[in-house]
Homo-oligomer: A and B are copies of this chain.
Amino acid sequence: MDLPTTKDRILDAAERLFGDRGFADTSLRTITAEAGANLAAVNYYFQSKDALIQAVFARRLGPLNQERMDMLDACEARAGDGPLLIEDVLRAFLEPAFKVGHERASTFGRLLGRMYIDPGDIFERIFREQFGATKVRFLGAFRRALPELPPEEMFWRMHFLIGALAHTMAGLHHLKVTSEGLCDASNPETVLKRLIPFLAAGFRAPVPQGDTPCDAN
């Protein structure tokens, strides 16, 4: 077995430190020091700090979103012409995220959660490049699972879903402190078993008044 390359060690260190402290607060010096690499190495392998940030995300987001699609494929194959269960769609979207968070000792989990909130043009681009196809596929699946939901309401509920996901992944430590150790998230399945029913019930909630339903015309 080969030792990890310098490039990989830099990516690993960056992933952990960005997740811990944020992007602006993590210097290339800190990253290369933790990676046991030279400061100049980060400019040799990547061109700039921004490019390093992009590389950190690209390494995980490609496989992550592929797994989401695969799970959704399996869901739809199983459903055939029958109804699509909202719980299954939610699991296809959430489980790969929590699994990669857990595998990487939750380092990438914090990072993924932070991506949705942190500012900067980089993230707008990362989002467009990495999530475009995923967004379209899941939007369709959510609509198929809940056809009576008006499009506007669907976007809102997906927005709430993203919020619960991002904060749950980024703030698990926060939860442990607040609950005085009662809540433990060392196993991704523990989180999913609670998050999926919560969100499924939210998605199934009656549509608030004043909205035009999909099939009103």
Which residues from chain A sit less than 8 Å from chain B, CB to CB? 20-22, 24-25, 113-114, 116-120, 135, 151-153, 155-160, 162-168, 170-171, 174-175, 178-179, 182-183, 193-195, 197-206, 208-210
- Out of B163, B171, B204, name the residue touching A164 (CB < 8 Å): B163
Q: Known: A155-B182, A164-B160, A165-B163. Is A25-B120 also a contact (CB below 8 A)? A: yes
A167–B175 contact, CB under 8 A?
A: no
Q: How far is the CA of A199 from the CA of B204 in the complex (A)?
A: 11
B135–A159 contact, CB under 8 A?
A: no
B205–A118 contact, CB under 8 A?
A: no
- Out of B24, B157, B165, name the residue touching A25 (CB < 8 Å): B24
Chain B residues contacting A152 (CB-CB under 8 Å) are 179, 182-183
Chain B residues contacting A22 (CB-CB under 8 Å) are 22, 24, 118-120
So how many copies of this chain end up in the complex?
A: 2
The chain B residue sitting closest to A197, CB to CB, is: B205
Q: How far is the CA of A178 from the CA of B168 in the complex (A)?
A: 21
List 9 tightest A-B contacts by C-beta distance, closest first. Answer: A163-B167, A24-B24, A201-B205, A155-B179, A198-B202, A202-B202, A163-B164, A117-B117, A160-B164
Q: How far is the CA of A22 from the CA of B178 in the complex (A)?
A: 24
Q: Return 13 A-B CB contacts under 8 Å, by A number.
A: A22-B119, A116-B174, A117-B117, A156-B198, A157-B194, A160-B199, A162-B167, A163-B171, A193-B209, A198-B202, A198-B205, A201-B205, A202-B202
A117–B170 contact, CB under 8 A?
A: yes
Q: How far is the CA of A208 from the CA of B116 in the complex (A)?
A: 28
Chain B residues contacting A20 (CB-CB under 8 Å) are 119
Chain B residues contacting A200 (CB-CB under 8 Å) are 205
A155–B171 contact, CB under 8 A?
A: no
